[in-house]
């Protein structure tokens, strides 16, 4: 297009005679203006999407705080658990510490451990969500009532992880 700047990708090679003296130059050029414009548009779209994801994440965090509802997941392969900030607040656990299954069982009220572990076994066997209510004992000794929902996800016919929610229902239970 006349008068508009264009981007060119060029490759050049020297031409030499039999004695090695440079006698010329051969080059080829390819107009990559559309490719650069498309890349710029894609980069702008990525920036826009990152802003939207950050906004949605912030909204989700706020919604979880309001509902006293946290999310979590447990990977069977690595035996590791990940918790949302609200789930960690509800469970009263440090955000920097990794929690093992032993750590999680230790949080449970002694009278609720057997039932919670049995519910976990049912979750592993079922495809649908499994609701369960239980109590935990916080570091300060306070008992907190929780509603927990969990579901096992499968990949290739094998249970790969459990995803779930934990909600503080203490106020409802004490009312």
Over residues 128-156, the pLDDT tens digits come to: 677 889 999 998 999 999 999 999 888 88
Note the pLDDT tens digit of each residue in 66-117: 988 999 998 887 777 888 999 999 998 887 666 777 888 889 999 999 988 8
Nearest C-alpha neighbor of 158 from the set 125, 118, 121, 128: 125
pLDDT of residue 36: 95
In Å, how far are 32, 34, 107, 171 from 40, measured between CA atoms? 12, 10, 51, 52
pLDDT of residue 127: 61
> How many Å apart are CA 139 and CA 131, to the nearest integer?
25
Q: Which residues contact 37 (CB under 8 A, 6 or more apart)?
A: none
In Å, how far are 54, 58, 59, 86, 95 from 62, measured between CA atoms? 12, 6, 5, 9, 17
Q: Whole-prediction pTM value?
A: 0.68
């Amino acid at each position: 297009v006349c008068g508009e700047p264009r981007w060119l990708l060029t490759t050049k090679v020297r031409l030499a005679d039999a004695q090695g003296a440079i006698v010329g130059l051969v080059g080829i050029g390819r107009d990559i203006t559309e490719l650069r414009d498309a890349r710029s548009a894609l980069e702008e779209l990525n920036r826009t999407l990152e802003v939207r994801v950050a906004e949605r994440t912030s909204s989700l965090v706020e919604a979880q705080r309001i509902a006293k509802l946290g999310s979590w997941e447990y990977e069977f392969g690595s035996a590791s658990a990940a918790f949302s900030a609200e789930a960690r607040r509800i469970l009263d656990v440090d955000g920097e510490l990794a929690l093992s299954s032993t750590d999680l069982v230790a949080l449970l009220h002694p009278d609720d451990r057997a039932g919670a572990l049995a519910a976990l076994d049912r979750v592993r066997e079922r495809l649908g969500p499994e609701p369960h209510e239980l109590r935990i004992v916080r570091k300060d000794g306070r008992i907190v009532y929780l509603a927990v929902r969990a579901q096992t996800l499968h990949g290739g016919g094998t249970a790969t992880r459990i995803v779930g929610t934990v909600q503080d229902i203490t106020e409802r239970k004490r009312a």
